[in-house]
């Protein structure tokens, strides 16, 4: 048999599934890293403006997220992009992925 023949190119369904699974995981980790960075920026803004500790700034974001029924990362993204705080609950704003949040 020649090396690099048809036998070497056959990929099982299980392998395809595993590649798909790993690709999804990488995409999720990339989004998590971006979210972490944006949340850190928002915490820094709140720490400077409101003279808060890092934990207090995160708590401020968390509470605003609950009050407005929006994802914390989306609020953080809006704060980092616009500098507006507090975020109005009726302002849907952009989401981290550039899409408008679903109503």
- Domain coordinates in residue numbering, the chain: 14-82
Task: State the pLDDT at residue 9.
Answer: 62
**Options 3.40.50.880, 3.40.640.10, 2.30.40.10, 1.10.10.10; which CATH number does 14-82 get?**
1.10.10.10
Per DSSP, the three-state class of 82 is helix
Interval 12-36: pLDDT, tens = 878 889 999 999 999 988 888 888 9
pTM, whole model, 2 decimals?
0.63
Please list the alpha-helical segments (H only) found in the chain: 6-9, 13-50, 54-68, 72-82
pLDDT digits over 41-83, tens only?
999 999 999 999 999 999 999 999 999 999 999 999 999 999 9
**Contacts for 34 with CB less than 8 Å, ≥ 6 apart:** 96
């Amino acid at each position: 048999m020649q090396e690099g023949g048809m036998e070497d190119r056959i990929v099982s369904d299980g392998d395809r599934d595993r590649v798909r699974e790993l690709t999804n995981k990488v995409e999720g980790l990339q989004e998590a890293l971006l979210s972490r960075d944006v949340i850190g920026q928002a915490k820094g803004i709140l720490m400077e403006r409101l003279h808060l500790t890092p934990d207090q700034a995160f708590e401020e974001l968390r509470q605003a997220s609950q009050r407005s029924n929006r994802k914390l990362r989306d609020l953080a993204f809006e704060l980092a992009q616009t500098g507006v705080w507090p975020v109005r609950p009726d302002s849907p704003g952009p989401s981290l992925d550039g899409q408008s949040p679903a109503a």
